[in-house]
Structure 1
Amino acid sequence: MKSMYFTEEHQLFRESLKDFLKKEVVPHIEKWESSGTIDRFIWEKFGEMGYFGLATPEEDGGLGLDLFYTVIFLEELQKINSGGFAAAMWAHAYLAMTHLNKEASADLKKKYLTPSVLGEKIGCLCITEPFGGSDVAGMRTTAVKKGDSYILNGSKTFITNGVYCDYMIVAAKTNPELKNKGISIFLVDKNSKGVTATKLNKLGWRASDTGEIAFDNVEIPASNLMGEENSGFSYIMEHFALERLIMGINAHARTEYALEYTLQYMTERHAFGKSLDKYQALRHRLVDCYADLELCREYNYMVASKLDKGIYVVKEATISKLKSTKMADEVIYECLQFLGGYGYMEDYPLARLLRDSRLGPIGGGTSEILREILAKIIIDKKEYAPKEIPVNS
């Protein structure tokens, strides 16, 4: 792939990652999709290769590489046709670990971040609640200060890695009267007394574990507070930009995979004396699909470039997710149609791709919520700014 954003080193990394995934991951995908459980050994293999530490500073055991290594990591994970496996990997590395990288104290980083880079500990991010959905400010989970501890009560749902994780990054109200300005972020060890996790049964992302988590008088050391008390909402909003860009990149990558597969199929499948790729009606529809993909992919690279330079990209990342996930659903739907009856068969990749892709416009903020965020920025002239995070000892 020739691009102004990727160097020769990036391309070498891509080839190495593709080879790794082909040898170490692909042979197990069908088993993991069927069982809904990803074997623990693969996390450690990812850790050994440094894949979980691409964005983590070297002093914390990572590689401290630019964001386009992450882009490659995300893109290639989408091309092994298991949205669930991909989600488990990036939810650990870029949801849980992003908060560890940015807000954790030195002690928490030593205990949780470094093992996360090595794949020895698995993390998850717990924000969404059963009664709140995309309404982060309306969360009901509370953390009440009691001496040198906080007492956590509440529940979270739709949590990727929530069942098999080792630790959770949890958002809770420390001052409910302040609404969104009274939210804090905590690190909660999965083995803490009072934590229970129930596995959810999903339409897609079958390989990943998605859990509903309950917290019943869970005692958290005060030292497990991440960043400043009552500043959690700002941290969440800032990191949502990365999450939404990730989902935009995932969308264009799985679309690229779907189109490549579909075009190959169309060149080999014959009907009425010629291959499907020679029929004008199909050719033109496929070209429209490709054009939509190209627009989203190049836009996403531009947003990634801005974010890599430290530019605050709430608006751009929101557009990325909104448009790219919609495009992916539409194009993959077309691709399944191009395969006819075979597209509906589980032996071909489009059926799973269609199911996995459908979560795109839902997870990480529904398309409806994203449109309202953009309306506030574009119409109401609302400005979002990053929260300064103090250096913790």
Structure 2
Amino acid sequence: MLTRTITSAVSVAALVLGCGLPADAQDKSGERSAAAKEYENPGFALNLLQRAHGPDEDAFVAQGELDPLIDPAGGGACASAVCADLMQALRVMAGLDRYPNPHKVALAAFRDQPALLKGRVSNEQLVRLIAFYQSYLGHAKVGVDVVSAPNSGYRTHHRTWAEADGPDLDVSPRKLKVLSYTVTGPTGAVLGRHFVLLKGAAKDHIDVVDPVKPGADRHYVLDFKPGEKEARARLFLNNPPGMPRTGGYVYEVNTVFTVSLLDEGELGKRPAPATASVESVNHLVDETARELKGTNEFLDPRAWRKRTAAFGLPGLDLPAEYGGSGWPAVKMVDVFRRAGWHNLNFRDVVGGAHVRPLLKSTNPDVLAVVRQVARGDGYVAIAITEPEAGTDIPAIKSTARKVEGGYLLNGAKRFNARLDQATHVVLFTQGTAGERGKLSAFVVPINSPGLTVERLQAHGLTGNSYGGLRFKDLKVSDGQLLGKDGEGMGIFFEHFLYWRLMQSAAAIGTGENALDQMAARLKARQAFGGPIGRFTHLQQPIGQYKTELRMAYALAREAAARIDRGDYGKETRALICGIKAEGVEMALRATDAAVRAFGGEGYSTLVDLGDRLRDLNGLRIADGTTDVMRMEVVRQTFGEEFWDMAAGPKK
């Protein structure tokens, strides 16, 4: 962050704002008119805001107005100010009035993300801040792409620009770019970095809106210098001829953030998420977990999804045409493992989760729900278990009766998660023919008339609610049927093979974290004149369970590769059911050993190991119990007769 020593203070202006866009900015048909298209140009939008900004009206937030709130050791508030100004420009570009009090929103951002008050903002934090402002853009949605300089010290795993070409500084409709440049002082010391909005660009110079003084343009001459290989690898910003020199300060561009306004139909065509690798997604999970630790949002899947939507996390494994990134299962197991390492509840914060069965539909309204989930707005629960039908899925009693224009659904569900958080639920019923095993699946808004949510208390996995449903004469349209009538069992098993695999990867991560805590405990805890780690009987479980969990994870990656090939056959089913059973049990044994190594502390809330045990016990039952999964391994490997001997109908 640019330090206060080289920023100029701007007095706090009145917070009264008025006027917005002309009435003709959008025509009556809802199509963007020629006037509206002009507003989509970032230069035009920023010009409009600059003309409105003045002593009596604040169209922008100036950095100096926020600097007093920032930790003096952390630099200035340029990142926070530039994102507030970005919001205003995006609103204009989207055909909306500018926000009446942007300072109030900037303060709300500090409350939502208190780490901003430290002043030093990473690339991930800036994208997360942009995601926060998403909720102030009405129905407009944005995508964020991050490209860094090859030598940037601020990048983690973002893409770098080609050294032969330099960064893309084109100014395009519906796209607004934030430039970050490193500030080096006369002595060669790096003072931090500064953020500006790109307003216009030519071959050799750019115009920017600087949050230090947003009401006036700032001009820079582009000065490309060679890197290790190519001539345009490094980009410096100089004052134009006739202007005072920068006083020995050096400005080098380190990152370009491209924020794109997306139409509903363009959501699947947006740039790949800024965090386009497993490593960077895991880094984002780590950082978000640290930020939310100790808050009410730590275990809240909806809060996580909303917060990380700009990075594309909710849609990682959803098709690109519906706003996702189309990640294969072999990459997703790595992410679920890392999420579970932090907390098993985080199995619900990445990927589409239970929206995936909706991909069986061709109904645009149903597929719109997939897009909502990818944007972080939607969340889908699934309800198949009933008071008298758990493992025996074909025995469910819920019914579907065909009526004109749709179906009437009647029944009850129990021991279902996510119902309080969900926007939609996938309901399974008997097919209309009533033939055992021929189930049907429907997607239903959670607030549908005739649908009642019931609540139970669970011992673990408390990030989601736990309870059941009752529905009487619940009317659904033909388009809410997923697949065909009677195909629900196949939809269920295909989805749950994938889901069980991902849950197992998360459980493996949960167990690995417990072992990490146990190893640290053995090093730190002193007893009988030395660290307790010298007792080899305490070391043995770490070696055993670490190896077991690694073996389980290797099998999980093998199963993921099978799914990516479209292999849902018996060998794959046996493999995944075995991983679900043994992966969870291994994680439980590892966590139990860690609890015992911590002694009385392990039985307290001073560490999270007790929560891990309860969560893993929940997963031992949920999505297929350990005992049934082991039976399924035998069934798929050695033949149906083994299942029939155990669970088949008695003659």
Class of the TM-score when normalised by the shorter of the 2 chains? 0.7 to 0.9
Rounded to whole Å, the distance in 2 between the matches of 1:306 and 1:40 is 30
Are 1:87 and 1:208, in contact at CA under 8 Å, matched by a contact in 2?
no
Cα distance change of structure 1 residues 10 and 80 upon mapping to structure 2, 3 Å threshold? closer
Matches within 5 A, 1:289-308: 289-308=545-564
Give SS of 2:321's match: helix
Are 2:460 and 2:614, in contact at CA under 8 Å, matched by a contact in 1?
yes
Aligned-partner residue type, residue 336 of structure 2: L
Q: C-alpha deviations, 1:182-235, integer Å up to 9, x for none?
A: x11111111211111122101111222122111111100111111111111111
Q: C-alpha deviations, 1:144-169, integer Å up to 9, x for none?
A: 11111200111112222112211111
Are 2:511 and 2:591, in contact at CA under 8 Å, matched by a contact in 1?
yes
Rounded to whole Å, the distance in 1 between the matches of 2:301 and 2:490 is 35
Give 1 or 2: higher strand fraction: 2
Rounded to whole Å, the distance in 2 between the matches of 1:63 and 1:109 is 19
RMSD between aligned alpha carbons? 2.0
Are 1:32 and 1:207, in contact at CA under 8 Å, matched by a contact in 2?
no
Larger relative contact order, structure 1 or 2 (CA cutoff 8 Å, min sep 6): 1
In the alignment of these two chains, the number of paired residues is 363
Runs of 4 or more consecutive aligned structure 1 residues displaced over 4 Å after TM superposition: none
Rounded to whole Å, the distance in 2 between the matches of 1:56 and 1:335 is 36
Please report the TM-score for the alignment, with normalisation by the length of structure 2: 0.53
Residue in structure 1 matched with residue 126 of structure 2 by the alignment: none
Residue in structure 1 matched with residue 357 of structure 2 by the alignment: 99
Shift of 1:13: 3.0
Are 1:88 and 1:161, in contact at CA under 8 Å, matched by a contact in 2?
no
2:426 counterpart (169, 172, 175): 169
Matches within 5 A, 1:192-271: 192-271=448-527
Rounded to whole Å, the distance in 2 between the matches of 1:41 and 1:98 is 20
Q: Is structure 2 residue 303 aligned with structure 1 residue 73? A: no
Are 2:507 and 2:584, in contact at CA under 8 Å, matched by a contact in 1?
yes
1:43 counterpart (305, 309, 321): 305
Are 1:88 and 1:160, in contact at CA under 8 Å, matched by a contact in 2?
no
Are 1:163 and 1:198, in contact at CA under 8 Å, matched by a contact in 2?
no
Residue in structure 2 matched with residue 385 of structure 1 by the alignment: none
Aligned-partner residue type, residue 373 of structure 2: S
Rounded to whole Å, the distance in 2 between the matches of 1:245 and 1:258 is 20
Cα distance change of structure 1 residues 39 and 79 upon mapping to structure 2, 3 Å threshold? closer
Shift of 1:120: 1.0
Please report the TM-score for the alignment, with normalisation by the length of structure 1: 0.87
Rounded to whole Å, the distance in 1 between the matches of 2:507 and 2:607 is 19
Rounded to whole Å, the distance in 1 between the matches of 2:380 and 2:528 is 54
Give 1 or 2: higher helix fraction: 1
Residue range with higher mean Cα deviation, 332-341 or 156-165: 156-165
Rounded to whole Å, the distance in 1 between the matches of 2:442 and 2:620 is 28
Give SS of 2:546's match: helix
Residue in structure 1 matched with residue 612 of structure 2 by the alignment: 353
Rounded to whole Å, the distance in 2 between the matches of 1:41 and 1:342 is 30
Shift of 1:175: 3.3
Residue in structure 1 matched with residue 374 of structure 2 by the alignment: 117
Are 1:152 and 1:219, in contact at CA under 8 Å, matched by a contact in 2?
yes
Q: C-alpha deviations, 1:261-285, integer Å up to 9, x for none?
A: 1101111111111112111111123
Give SS of 2:437's match: helix
Give SS of 2:452's match: strand
Matches within 5 A, 1:318-337: 318-337=577-596
Q: Which runs of 5+ in 1 are unaligned?
A: 1-7, 383-393
Residue in structure 2 matched with residue 342 of structure 1 by the alignment: 601
Are 2:457 and 2:467, in contact at CA under 8 Å, matched by a contact in 1?
no
Aligned-partner residue type, residue 13 of structure 1: V
Larger Rg, first or second structure (1 or 2)? 2
Q: Which runs of 5+ in 2 are unaligned?
A: 1-275, 642-651
Shift of 1:306: 1.9
Aligned-partner residue type, residue 238 of structure 1: E
Rounded to whole Å, the distance in 2 between the matches of 1:247 and 1:41 is 20
Q: What percent identity do the matched residue pairs reach?
A: 21
Q: C-alpha deviations, 1:73-102, integer Å up to 9, x for none?
A: 312221323x33x24436x822x211022x
Cα distance change of structure 1 residues 370 and 209 upon mapping to structure 2, 3 Å threshold? same
